[in-house]
Amino acid sequence: MDDILLTGNDLELIMATQKWLSFAFKMKDIGHAYYILGVKIQKDRSKRLLSLSQKTYIKRILEHFCMHNSKSIDTPIIKSHILSVEQYHKIEEEKKQMINFLIQVQLVVCCIQ
């Protein structure tokens, strides 16, 4: 069994994609996604907000390493903050790995669009 999450701002395109996929594969629509890859998805349609949380995943990792009693702090990120390769990974090998990762992500995004 494989899972797929279709998302976007064009509902007609999503429905057409789902219909096209259902011709090629045996599938069923299980409704809205609440978790994907350990990330909790919360939506507030009235405020047009979408939030993603890794709290459950992080809790599981902390428990695995017997660190679940550790002190926690908030580490908020600034809205509209743009991350770039130059900001991170000062070691040359890490830069190469990040560039390769970003290229793969771009390829996936291009294929989906």
- Same-domain pairing of 82 and 65: no
- Same-domain pairing of 22 and 65: yes
Q: Which two tokens stand for residue 85?
A: 């390769």
Task: Compute the average pLDDT of residues 16-27.
Answer: 86
Which one-letter DSSP state was computed for residue 8?
-
Do residues 52 and 39 lie in contact, with contact meaning Cβ atoms separated by under 8 Å? yes
Which residues are CB-neighbours of 88 under 8 A, at least 6 positions away?
Answer: 94, 98
- Same-domain pairing of 22 and 72: yes
- Same-domain pairing of 52 and 15: yes
- Same-domain pairing of 61 and 110: no
pLDDT tens digits for range 61-109: 888 888 888 877 776 667 776 767 666 556 677 777 777 776 665 554 4
By three-state DSSP, how is residue 58 classified?
helix
Is the pTM higher than 0.75? The answer reads no
pLDDT tens digits for range 28-49: 888 888 888 788 888 888 887 8
Other beta carbons within 10 angstroms of residue 17's beta carbon come to: 15
